[in-house]
């Protein structure tokens, strides 16, 4: 009897576990590390505490492999503390594929000297092993230590290395200047990947941001979606610098010259809502890599838990990865587009579709016939007679917090309208992913938001409102949304991936078959849903049969 009760309790605590997002079977996960493709397998390493579902004083590198980045096999840990230079933890890092095809990892070790953060090289023990099960740490480590103007605990997370035209290797380390809040990406160079020399000035720095964690640096093609190798640098590409700070992954786009080590950014980091972000919800410490098989740049981010630490221990796990996202430069050259990799579509099963349905003010329509707790939904909206409503609210009249609030529609002729995901029949639980249209100057702006305020009847859960502006003109473009719903996470892609919002929610009642999905319009005028297609999603096979 006691065993049965314990099993039922365990099952109850797994109701919010995801079915097609990457996570270990148990315990803690945070930053994605060193994603790469090698000899037929995609590799994903990650920060992991194998003993408990919380961040630990001693962290290791978990390791899983896949042939499609959807279904994963868990392998032995790749890196664990073992030497004086990493005895207190193996923290985040990146992988670089050398010209001869060998992979090399650079990671952050916490050493035996007051847990100073140093950079460590690791190499595969057997390069013929496609699973890369074992890694060795050469005795010449560490290869980089904090410079004198950087605190001993603010020097971490090396990027993938790249080669300049002179053949030298370059890499960036995230850091913060001592006694200031200036964040920076410190540039190091090497002829042999062993001896590294700090360049005279950081590649990029910004006042007021604090520590730059998990920096990233890579080129993007100025034409088309095709990704390019990290070392490519010519007139056909621009470069992206990403830094994680203030709980967000922010990025700038600019031009990079390896001849004089200058990165000329189109704008600066401000540590405000003006910064471009990969994701306007719960998404952090991301890591991108170049997939040479399909010539694309893929990015993963860590999605945190927003329930309580006590809840995490009841579940036995904490933390998961976003879906892998393909990234490329928008046609306007001003920002990145993100979209789930095409392999995710292989999980789609039963589908429903609707065309040209008008939603009057205050209307709600259930999308039935799919598993609403585990679904992929694509919907488009059209706004008739937009120019006939001069009373539409001007953006200058209201702050962002009000615009991003689903329950506040003052002055908006259009919106909020969109989807209610993980909802109950009576809508006492719901997560709204919505749009509003407001005036901006002589034109219009589209607000995209996600509200978690009514996502759960449970207490001790952080329930936030997220939002941003979509870079589209609703007079000439339809408003589109794709939502991937997976029990306790909703990834929402607006306007074909121009903006993304990830929400973490923990329904109490809207779980399993009790979860519902609705299209809604709470605006003062009707909107036309021009198309909707929704699919039930199969379970992915994720680390269910560890090999150790």
User: Residue 258 class from Cβ within 10 Å (0-12 exposed, 13-18 middle, 19+ buried)?
Assistant: middle
pLDDT at 43 over 70: yes
Mean pLDDT (the chain) is 94
Q: What is the pLDDT of residues 179-212, one digit of tens each?
A: 999 999 999 999 999 999 999 999 999 999 999 9
* Spatial distance between the Cα atoms of 370 and 360, rounded to a whole number of angstroms: 24
Give the number of other CB atoms < 10 A from CB of residue 30: 21
Where is 12: in which H helix or E strand?
helix 2-12
User: Is beta strand 103-110 parallel, antiparallel or unpaired with respect to 317-318?
Assistant: unpaired
Q: What is the pLDDT of residues 492-534, one digit of tens each?
A: 999 999 999 999 999 999 999 999 999 999 998 899 999 999 9
Question: Cis ω on the peptide bond leading into residue 489 (within 30° of 0)?
Answer: no
- Please work out, in degrees rounded to the nearest 5, the angle formed at the alpha carbon of residue 446 by the alpha carbons of 443 and 448: 165
* Spatial distance between the Cα atoms of 14 and 354, rounded to a whole number of angstroms: 33
Q: What is the pLDDT of residues 112-136, one digit of tens each?
A: 999 999 999 999 999 999 999 999 9
Distances (CA, A) of 425 to 364, 374, 420: 11, 17, 11
In this prediction, residues 287-302 reach a mean pLDDT of 98
pLDDT at 100 over 50: yes
Instruction: Provide the pLDDT for residue 8.
Output: 43
pLDDT at 15 over 90: no
Catalytic member of 31, 86, 157, 522: 31
Instruction: Kindly state the tokens that stand for 355.
Output: 């065309």
Contact 45, 101 (CB under 8 A): no
Residue 514, SS3?
helix
Give the number of other CB atoms < 10 A from CB of residue 257: 13
Say if 1-6+24-342 and 348-537 have the same CATH topology: no
pLDDT at 396 over 80: no
User: Residue 420 class from Cβ within 10 Å (0-12 exposed, 13-18 middle, 19+ buried)?
Assistant: buried
Contact 406, 451 (CB under 8 A): yes
Q: What is the pLDDT of residues 411-423, one digit of tens each?
A: 677 889 999 999 9
The number of residues in the chain equals: 548
In this prediction, residues 370-378 reach a mean pLDDT of 98
List, as one string, the DSSP characters of 214-231.
EEEEEEEESSSS----TT
Instruction: Provide the pLDDT for residue 10.
Output: 43
Read off the pTM: 0.96
Higher per-residue confidence, 445 vs 147: 147
Of 271-275, 281-285, 371-375, least confident by mean pLDDT is: 271-275
pLDDT at 9 over 70: no
Question: Cis ω on the peptide bond leading into residue 25 (within 30° of 0)?
Answer: no
pLDDT at 333 over 60: yes
User: Residue 319 class from Cβ within 10 Å (0-12 exposed, 13-18 middle, 19+ buried)?
Assistant: buried
Class for domain 348-537, per CATH?
mainly beta
End-to-end C-alpha distance for the chain, whole angstroms: 31
Residue 427, SS3?
coil
pLDDT band at 399 (very low <50, low <70, confident <90, very high): confident
Q: What is the pLDDT of residues 336-366, one digit of tens each?
A: 999 999 999 999 999 999 999 999 999 999 9
Instruction: Provide the pLDDT for residue 243.
Output: 98
* Spatial distance between the Cα atoms of 429 and 416, rounded to a whole number of angstroms: 17
Contact 300, 280 (CB under 8 A): no
The torsion region of residue 397 among left (phi > 0), alpha (psi -120 to 50) and beta comes to alpha
* 8-state DSSP, 319: -
The torsion region of residue 9 among left (phi > 0), alpha (psi -120 to 50) and beta comes to alpha
pLDDT at 547 over 90: no
Whether 31 is a known active-site residue: answer: yes
Residue 40, SS3?
coil
> Distance of alpha carbon 139 from its chain centroid, rounded?
35
pLDDT band at 226 (very low <50, low <70, confident <90, very high): very high
User: Residue 204 class from Cβ within 10 Å (0-12 exposed, 13-18 middle, 19+ buried)?
Assistant: buried
Contact 50, 60 (CB under 8 A): yes
pLDDT band at 314 (very low <50, low <70, confident <90, very high): very high
Instruction: Provide the pLDDT for residue 6.
Output: 38
Domain ranges of the chain: 1-6+24-342, 348-537
Q: What is the pLDDT of residues 486-499, one digit of tens each?
A: 999 999 999 999 99
Which residues lie across from 170 on neighbouring strands?
A: 162, 189
Residue % of the chain over a pLDDT of 90: 87
Instruction: Provide the pLDDT for residue 391.
Output: 63
CATH 3.90.550.10 for domain 1-6+24-342: no
The CA dihedral of 537, 497, 394, 518, to the nearest 10 degrees, is: -10
């Amino acid at each position: 009897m006691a065993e049965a009760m314990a099993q039922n309790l365990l099952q109850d605590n797994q109701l919010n576990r995801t079915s097609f997002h990457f996570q270990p079977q148990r315990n803690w996960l945070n930053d994605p590390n060193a994603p790469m493709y090698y000899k037929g397998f995609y590799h994903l390493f990650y920060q992991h505490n194998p003993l408990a579902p919380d961040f630990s004083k001693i962290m290791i590198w978990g390791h899983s492999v896949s042939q499609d980045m959807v279904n994963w096999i868990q392998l032995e840990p790749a890196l664990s503390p073992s030497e004086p230079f990493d005895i207190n933890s193996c923290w985040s890092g990146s992988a670089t594929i050398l010209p001869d095809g060998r992979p090399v990892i650079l990671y952050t070790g916490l050493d035996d000297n007051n847990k100073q953060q140093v950079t460590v090289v690791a190499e595969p023990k057997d390069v013929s092993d496609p699973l890369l099960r074992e890694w060795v740490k050469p005795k010449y480590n560490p290869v980089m230590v904090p410079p004198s103007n950087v605190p001993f605990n603010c020097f971490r997370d090396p990027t993938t290395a790249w080669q300049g035209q002179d053949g030298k290797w370059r890499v960036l380390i995230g850091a913060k200047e001592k006694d200031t809040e200036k964040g920076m990406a410190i540039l190091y160079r090497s002829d042999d990947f062993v001896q590294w020399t700090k360049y005279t000035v950081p590649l990029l720095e910004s006042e007021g941001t604090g520590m730059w964690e998990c920096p990233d640096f890579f080129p993007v093609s100025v034409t088309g979606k095709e990704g390019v190798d990290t070392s490519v640098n010519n007139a056909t590409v621009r470069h992206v610098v990403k830094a994680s700070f203030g709980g967000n992954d922010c990025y700038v786009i600019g031009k990079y010259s390896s001849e004089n080590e200058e990165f000329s950014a189109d704008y600066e980091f401000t540590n405000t809502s003006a910064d471009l972000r990969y994701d306007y919800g719960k998404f952090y410490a991301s890591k991108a890599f170049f997939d040479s098989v399909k010539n694309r740049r893929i990015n993963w981010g860590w999605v945190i838990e927003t329930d309580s630490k006590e809840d995490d221990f009841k579940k036995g796990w904490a933390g998961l990865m976003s879906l892998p996202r393909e990234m490329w430069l928008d046609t306007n050259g001003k920002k990145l587009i993100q979209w789930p990799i095409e392999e995710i579509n292989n999980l789609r099963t039963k589908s429903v579709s609707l065309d040209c349905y008008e939603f009057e003010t205050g209307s709600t329509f259930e999308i039935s016939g799919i598993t609403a707790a585990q679904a992929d939904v694509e919907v488009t909206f059209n706004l008739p007679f937009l120019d006939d409503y001069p009373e539409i609210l001007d953006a200058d009249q209201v702050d962002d917090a009000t615009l991003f609030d689903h329950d506040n529609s003052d002055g908006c002729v259009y919106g909020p309208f969109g989807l209610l995901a993980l909802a109950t029949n009576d809508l006492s639980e719901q997560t709204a992913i919505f749009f509003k249209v407001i005036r901006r100057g002589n034109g219009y702006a589209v607000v995209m938001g996600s509200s978690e305020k009514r996502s759960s009847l449970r207490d001790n859960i952080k329930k936030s409102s997220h939002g941003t502006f979509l870079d589209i003109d609703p007079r000439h473009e339809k408003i589109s949304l794709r939502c991937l719903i997976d029990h306790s996470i909703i990834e929402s892609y607006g306007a074909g991936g121009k903006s993304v919002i990830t929400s973490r929610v923990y329904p109490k009642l809207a779980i399993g078959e009790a979860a519902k999905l609705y299209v809604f319009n709470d605006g003062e005028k009707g909107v036309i849903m021009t198309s909707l297609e929704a699919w039930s999603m199969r379970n992915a096979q994720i680390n269910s049969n560890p090999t150790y």
